[in-house]
């Protein structure tokens, strides 16, 4: 559902950012074992997360029609999640937000790089996989997302 106005857009954006940050933080703390013996604290954080998700779940688009967020696959097991800004920028066009090597096993040659390009004005994400980091040969776009 589309947000009714710019004021709600700002709240939806803040809630989406808080939800994303909370999910990442809980995951990292869980991986480090920092949540061991802190069940009460984790329960409180989980409840806050659930409240945020419940309250913003109805809005998947800002009042101008752009998506609130999008997720795109880089490759199997690797995704990029992006929250679009609440206020659409005046400048249209893509901008590079990630330029990173593809993961590879130690002792194996690099597999190339990937780039993620975002157009905040259009509400789109585009991924390019560059198989040869020296020649920068671009394979076809994996997917353009416009949720």
| Statement to judge: residues 87 and 120 lie in one domain | yes
Region at 123 (left for phi over 0; alpha for psi -120 to 50; beta for the rest): left
- Count how many domains the chain has: 2
pLDDT per position as a tens digit, 89-99:
877 789 999 99
Domain containing 32 equals 6-56
| Statement to judge: residues 82 and 126 lie in one domain | yes
pLDDT per position as a tens digit, 52-92:
888 888 999 999 999 999 999 998 888 999 999 999 887 77
| Statement to judge: residues 83 and 134 lie in one domain | yes
Give the predicted TM-score (pTM) of the model: 0.78
Half-sphere exposure of 79 (CA within 13 A, CB side): 7
């Amino acid at each position: 559902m589309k947000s009714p106005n710019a004021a709600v857009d700002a709240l939806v954006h803040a809630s989406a950012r808080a939800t994303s940050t909370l999910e990442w933080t809980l995951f990292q703390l869980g991986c480090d074992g920092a949540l061991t013996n802190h069940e009460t604290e984790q329960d409180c954080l989980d409840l806050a997360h659930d409240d945020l998700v419940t309250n913003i779940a109805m809005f998947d688009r800002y009042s101008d029609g752009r998506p609130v967020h999008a997720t795109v696959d880089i490759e199997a097991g690797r995704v990029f999640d992006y929250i679009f800004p609440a206020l659409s920028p005046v400048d249209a066009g893509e901008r590079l937000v990630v330029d990173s090597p593809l993961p590879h096993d130690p002792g194996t040659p690099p597999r190339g790089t990937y780039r993620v390009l975002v157009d905040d004005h259009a509400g789109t994400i585009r991924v390019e996989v560059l198989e040869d980091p020296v020649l920068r040969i671009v394979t076809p776009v994996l997917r353009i997302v416009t949720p």
